[in-house]
Every structure is written in C-alpha cells, then in structure tokens.
Amino acid sequence: MPPSRRAAAVTAPLLVSALLLSACGSGGDDPGGGADGRAKGSITFQTWNLRGKFKDYFDGLVRDFENEHPDVDVKWLDQPAENYADKLSADAAAGTLPDVVNVSPDLSYPLAKAGMLLNLDRTPAAAKFKGEYTAEAWQGNTLPGLDGSYAFPWYLNTGPLFYNKALFRQSGLDPEKPPKTYDELFAAARTMAEKSGGKTATLAGTPAVEDFGRYGVRLMNEDATRFTYNEPKGVELLTRYKELHDRGGLDPQALTNTPEKAGQRFLEQKVAMNPGGANDLGTFRKSAPGLYRNLGITDAPNNNGKPNMYVMGLGVNSRSKHKAAAIAFAHFVTDRKHQEAFAHKVAVFPSTKGSLEDPYWTKDDGTDEGRVRVASAKMLKGAVNYTPVVMSDEMKVVLKNEVAKALQGKKSPQRALDDAVARSDKLLAQSRQP
C-alpha cells in the first residue's frame, strides 16, 4: 500500500482465533495443496489499494506467472485502504481469506495468532528463499511470540528528514552537519531557540512511539504482552522534550499539529526540521524557493544507528488448498526482478539483497524524486520497524494524549507514561480475549 497512511491493525481480527483454530485441517485433498507439492490449482491474490494506479503492472505480473506455471490460475483482487483490516477479519472468520494476501506486520500479527498464515521459517518450500531478502526485511515480518516470519518481504519505505540550512546557519550551527543523535538534536534545538529569541523552533511535533524506539527505549517485553516505554530511559526522553517545549524548541502548535500542519509550518520556515517526501520538494520549489535552495536532507536522529522503516509483505493462507502455488506466486511477486520493477513505478524500495546497490538507488539523477530516493535508500541499511506490531491506533492516541499532558505540565513525565502504559496494557489484554 504505497500511500503514506498505513492502516493499523484493529482488535477485530483477534476474534477470528476462536472461530478458526478449531476449523478443518490445512490444505485439502488436492495433491498440489501441500506446501512442498507441485504448483497447481486456482489461487486468489489480494492487494491493498493498488488497482487504481498499477492495474497494468499487476495484470502483466499475473500473466507472466501463469505463463511460467501453466497449471496455476491466479485471480487478482484489490481492496480499498478504508477498513482493510476489517475486511481481512471478515474474510478470515468466513474462511475466505485469499491464498496470497498483502499485509503489513500489524495486520499479519492477528491473522498469524489465529493460525491463518504460514510460518515461512517452518515451511521448507518458503524458507529456502529467505536468503534472497535482506535480513532487516525478513526480520521485519517476524512476529513477537510466534517464532517466525509470516510474510514474504515485499517493499520497504522510509522517510527522510528535511532541514532548513538557512535557519541552521542563522543560529551559528553548521548546516552541513545536521544532528544525528538525540543529544545533538536537543543541543541544536536549544541553540536555535536562544539565538532566535524563541521565534524559531526546531521541531513541529511531539514524540511518537518511533521516537522512543530511536532513543533506545525498550518499548515492550519480549513476548509483546506488556508495554515498557515508561522505563527510566523513556521518562528521560519525555523530560527532555518537556524542557525543549518550555524553551521554545518545539513549535507552539506542536501539541495539536497534524502532519499536514507540521509540513505547513516547515514550509513557512517557522520550524527547522520536519519529515517529508519527494512530492514536498516540488511544493517547496514552487511556493518557497528560498527554502528549496537551502534544503538539507538527512535521516531522523537516533541513538541506535538504525533508522525507522515501514515493511510490507505477502502472507500465504495456511489453509489454502493450493499452498505450493500460493508460495510460488508470493515468491514470484517479491523476487528481485519484480520488486525492482515495481519500485521503479512507485516511490518504494525493494527488500531483496543487492537491489539498493543499483545506480537507480545510489546515484542522484538531478530530479527531485532522485534526490529523495537516493537519500532515503541510504537510510534503509540496518533500518528497523520501531512501531510494535500490537500497537493499535487507539494505543498510539493514548500515548500522544499523555505526552501532551506532560508537555503542558499537567502530569509529570513519569506519571504520564505510567498512565499511557497502563491504559495500553488494558487495551492489549482486551484485544486478546476471544
């Protein structure tokens, strides 16, 4: 799903567990149904909001696969972005989950817990392809407490952090050395606030769970049954944000800024740093040429040396009657040749080994898209998905609201995070109940 807004998992898919774990066994009587059999039979392939812009690509992809596997017939389905998680839940409960399904880790998690997705690490016909993908991408589809990966890595995404070199220069900061760690970030933000008399903030938003992850905070326990971002290091991060907020290092509207509003504040040169994408460069060039001329591109500061990335994959229905065909097709879509072809059509990145060493992702071609593409591709080396797969949108809102209370001084950072964890743990426990 290329759009930047990724639908988070909802609790509904967890309800399928009681319905499905007692269902019939996997496979069926068809000799091609086993995961290690010959690829044959009719399978369904479901994508997530891709038909509108990429119909010709996927029609060709299906046609090429069927030409190579004449005993397999593939029916391509596509679902809109809205309520995609609910659609997966309904299909799983009804026993109509597609044979190959487009999932992000947060969506594959409840399906895997319900026994609906193949554990690729424990399926020899799938595990043999593991070495074709980057370790980071395969790990990104490995689910906590389930001991394995449940989707073939497909495309990756990450976002660069834009910064205003002119504002850095005006504050006496080196515009060619943007902050790489949180210590450097907070130091630069204090300097910028002081030098500008509080008129220029460094950041337009409050810390989200990814920030806690990049700071080095342990977000959950090992089996993902309890949140832990209220540990001392998490409190330390929120305390530093509170100090930054009090000194003018955060935009005055940071507590209520949406991503769109934060982008507008950066466009107006009211803040010095903000996430963005290739499309933003065209806007800057047209609406803020001064900003465009002084635009720097870097990755978000982190203390781990590992940027954040978003992962998309293709899961295989564990109850498919034609597992061999489903595995073969999922691998076909995600092999190096086809991943690179798809990534040339949309601003995403392949997860196959060696792909990002191609000049397309290493050499700036002089276009805005190329400039961001090359910068972003560099960030994917060693990148991880910091957002816990069990963290729902509601849990993210809980954290955001408690962070706001701490920044406003209504609660101490410790109390705010304790309350956020307690509420999120309760929601998590509720979601696990059949």
How do the pLDDT tens digits run along the chain, 434 residues long?
544 333 333 333 333 333 333 333 333 333 335 666 789 999 999 999 999 999 999 999 999 999 999 999 999 999 998 889 889 999 999 999 999 999 999 899 989 989 999 999 999 999 999 999 999 899 999 998 888 999 999 999 887 899 999 999 999 999 999 999 999 999 999 999 999 988 899 999 999 999 999 999 999 998 889 999 999 999 999 999 999 999 999 999 999 999 899 999 999 999 999 998 877 888 899 999 999 999 999 989 999 988 888 899 999 999 999 999 999 999 999 999 999 999 999 889 999 999 999 999 999 998 888 888 998 898 888 888 899 989 988 999 999 999 999 999 999 999 999 999 999 999 999 877 65
According to DSSP, residue 23 is labeled S
Return the ∠ at Cα 19 (arms to 112 and 39), rounded to 5°: 50
pLDDT for 31 equals: 35
- Pull the structure tokens for residue 267: 């466009």
For 434, other C-beta atoms within 10 Å of its C-beta total 10
Closest by Cα among 94, 97, 54, 58 to 74:
58
Name 383's bridge partners.
Answer: none
pLDDT for 401 equals: 97
- To 10 degrees, the CA torsion angle through 274, 8, 311, 259? -10
pLDDT for 132 equals: 98
100-103/41-48 β-pairing: parallel
- Pull the structure tokens for residue 134: 């980057």
Domain with CATH 3.40.190.10 in the chain: 12-158+309-379, 161-306+389-431
pTM of structure = 0.81
- To 10 degrees, the CA torsion angle through 276, 281, 283, 285? 150
pLDDT for 433 equals: 67
Q: Which fold has domain 161-306+389-431?
A: D-Maltodextrin-Binding Protein; domain 2 (3.40.190)
Question: CATH homologous superfamily for 12-158+309-379?
Answer: Periplasmic binding protein-like II (3.40.190.10)
- List Cα–Cα distances, 84 to 87, 114, 217, in angstroms: 5, 17, 31
Rounded Cα distance between 426 and 434, Å, is: 15
Rounded Cα distance between 303 and 236, Å, is: 13
